[in-house]
Structure 1
Amino acid sequence: MTARSLPDFEPFAARVASDNGPLVIQARGELDLGTAPRLWDALAGVLDDNHGELVIDLEGVSFMDAQGIKILVRALKHVETNGGKLVLRSPQPPARRVLELTGLDDYLTIEP
């Protein structure tokens, strides 16, 4: 039996993007206990310098648990304290369902 190498698999990634509009954090993968710190690291790098609208693009997030919610709440508090606005963009059905079940969808601006 021969061994074959598997492609590199990254369970979660977040990157910062901005094109003369609001600052956007693009997230993809599974947002859970093991990966939520990566989202926070991306957010922490921009939260103190951003006093306007911050968008977290969840289109590529296939799963989100309570740790993902915790990071979003933490970011929401930080952004609002600094007079900004947090927007979630394009959450997929699994992530949207978690937002609805926790009631967080009542406190956040969610774009389709």
Structure 2
Amino acid sequence: MRSATDTFEVDLEARTGEVWVLPRGELDIDTADEMDHSLSIALASEAERVVIDLRGLDFLDSTGLRSIVSACMGPDGPRIELMPGSRSVQGVFNVSGLAAELSWRPDDGR
């Protein structure tokens, strides 16, 4: 049996004027606390922009969605941009009706 730590990791990467939050794996009820912690660290930085790159996610549930949306709707929300993820991850944002409410960065092809 796999544990939550086997299915999810978050890296933070400093790029010019930005901090990138790079979650990989399954962002769900078991891993949302780790994502919240990583977002707190990124938002505590003095970076002009925080980019949450969703391309590494294999799965996103409503708890993971809450984690991301809470950061985006919070006081530091204007600093956050999202890099779109897979069709299934984007589907969670679309079905929730929140996709149009968030700031999306065009995929740069990386």
TM-score (norm 2): 0.82
Counterpart residue number, 1:90: 84
Residue 70 of structure 2 corresponds to residue 77 of structure 1: no
Cα displacement (A) at 1:21? 3.5
Counterpart residue number, 1:12: 8
Contact 1:55-1:87 within 8 A present in 2 as well: yes
Quote the Cα distance in structure 2 between the aligned partners of 1:82 and 1:36: 19
Unpaired runs of 5+ residues, structure 2, are none
Quote the Cα distance in structure 1 between the aligned partners of 2:15 and 2:76: 22
Cα displacement (A) at 1:51? 6.0
As a proportion of its length, which structure holds more helix? 2
Q: 1:83 to 1:98 in 2, by over 3 A?
A: closer
RMSD over aligned Cα atoms: 1.8
Amino acid at match of 1:37: D
Q: How many residues align?
A: 102
Cα displacement (A) at 1:44? 1.1
Quote the Cα distance in structure 2 between the aligned partners of 1:39 and 1:70: 11
Quote the Cα distance in structure 1 between the aligned partners of 2:25 and 2:59: 7
CA shift digits 1:41-70 (9 cap, x unpaired): 111112133462210011110110100111
Contact 2:42-2:50 within 8 A present in 1 as well: no
Counterpart residue number, 1:4: none
Amino acid at match of 1:96: Q
Q: 1:103 aligns with which of 80, 97, 100?
A: 97
Contact 2:25-2:56 within 8 A present in 1 as well: yes
Identity of aligned residues (%): 26
Counterpart residue number, 1:44: 40
Residue 17 of structure 2 corresponds to residue 32 of structure 1: no
**SS of equivalent residue, structure 2 residue 37:** helix
